[in-house]
């Protein structure tokens, strides 16, 4: 279980998070919703260790990981897929994926990991020799998720995977996310697209100005009139 307990974080004098708590069960799928600047990405960055949290604790499977180095957190099985197009454009698809195995680098053969990624994303196999910078937006998003899968995550932190993708691609991508969850990977999903996020999630948290405004079962949230008005549109 991944537990975030009343963490706070700031950028300089700007407070980004105020006593945020949330929880992802092993094998669960949870979404974190909210408007721009609500603190969704900051929460993920605190968990992955990219941004230090000023107060509060973060625990994973009973261990206190607050303040751990990023690579130790990855080694524990918490792997982040950053927002946007954070990949290595000059390297080939295959090389990008190999970089995801960094923590298991003493192991010689990464065949099973490659196979698993290519099974989720057959497009990547077709393009494995191409430079990542030449992929389409959707393929780049797939590659980022694929790279994270290479590290054999127990908890996958997805930051706005739908960003900049066409509605059709978003739908396809979320089907794959649901499949990864069925295959046993716990997922914490940050999204602005609340509708599609709630449709795959079991539980949801809604952030507003750095605080958890509401949380509950995904089904209940999607039927909540307040959530409906603010995040799901008419």
Partner 1 sequence: MYGSPSYARLAPLLALVVIGIVLPPLVPQYFLSLGNTLMMYAILAVGLDLLLGWAGQFAFAHIAFYGVGVYGTVLLQSKLGIPFIPGVLIAAALAGLIAFLIAVAAIRLHSVYLALATFAFAESAQWVFNSWEGLTGGADGLRIAPPSVLGWTTGTDARAFPVIAIILALVIGATMYLTRSRLGRSLCAVRDSEHAAAVSGIDVFRTRIWAFVISGTYAGVAGGTFALFQSFVNPEAFGFSQIVLVLSMVVVGGLGTLPGPLIGAVLLGLLPEIMRTAMRGLFVWQELVYGLILILSMMFMPRGIWGLIAARGGRSK
Q: Closest CB to partner 1 among 26 and 99?
A: 99
105 counts as binding partner 1 under rule CB under 8 A: yes
Q: How many residues bind partner 1 (CB under 8 A)?
A: 31
Q: Mark 34-73 with x for binding to partner 1 (rule: CB under 8 A) and - for no binding.
A: --------------x-x------------------xxx--
116 counts as binding partner 1 under rule CB under 8 A: no
112 counts as binding partner 1 under rule CB under 8 A: no
Structure tokens at 145: 């998720």
74 counts as binding partner 1 under rule CB under 8 A: yes
User: According to DSSP H, which parts of the chain are helical?
Assistant: 40-48, 70-76, 93-100, 111-120, 122-126, 137-150, 167-182, 194-200, 218-223, 225-227
- The span of 6-14, 81-89, 108-116, 205-213 binding partner 1 (CB under 8 A) equals 81-89
How many Cα neighbours within 13 Å face the side chain of 188? 31
- Candidates 8, 42, 80, 141; binder of partner 1 (CB under 8 A) is 80
Taking the C-alpha atoms of residue 155 and residue 4, their distance in angstroms, rounded to an integer, is 13
Q: What angle do CA 62, 56, 22 make, to 5 degrees?
A: 65
The DSSP code for 1 is: -
Taking the C-alpha atoms of residue 72 and residue 168, their distance in angstroms, rounded to an integer, is 36
Query: For binding to partner 1 (CB under 8 A), which residues are involved?
Result: 48, 50, 69-71, 74-75, 79-82, 86-92, 94-95, 98-100, 102-103, 105, 131, 144, 147-148, 151
């Amino acid at each position: 279980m991944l537990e975030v307990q009343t963490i706070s974080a700031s950028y300089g004098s700007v407070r980004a998070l105020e006593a945020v708590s949330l929880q992802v069960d092993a094998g669960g799928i949870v979404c974190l919703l909210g408007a721009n600047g609500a603190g969704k990405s900051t929460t993920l960055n605190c968990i992955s260790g990219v941004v230090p949290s000023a107060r509060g604790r973060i625990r994973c499977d009973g261990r206190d990981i607050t303040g751990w180095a990023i690579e130790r957190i990855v080694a524990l099985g918490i792997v982040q897929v950053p927002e946007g197009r954070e990949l290595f454009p000059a390297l080939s698809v295959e090389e990008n994926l190999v970089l995801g195995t960094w923590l298991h680098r003493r192991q010689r053969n990464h065949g099973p990991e490659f196979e698993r990624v290519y099974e989720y994303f057959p497009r990547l196999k077709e393009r494995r020799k191409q430079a990542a910078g030449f992929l389409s937006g959707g393929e780049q998003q797939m590659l980022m998720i694929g790279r994270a899968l290479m590290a054999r995550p127990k908890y996958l932190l997805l930051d706005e995977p739908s960003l900049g993708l066409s509605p059709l691609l978003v739908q396809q991508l979320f089907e794959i996310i649901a499949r990864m969850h069925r295959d046993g990977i716990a997922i914490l999903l940050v999204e602005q697209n609340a509708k599609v996020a709630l449709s795959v999630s079991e539980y949801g948290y809604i952030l507003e100005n750095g605080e958890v405004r509401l949380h509950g079962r995904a089904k209940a949230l999607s039927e909540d009139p307040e959530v409906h008005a603010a995040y799901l549109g008419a």
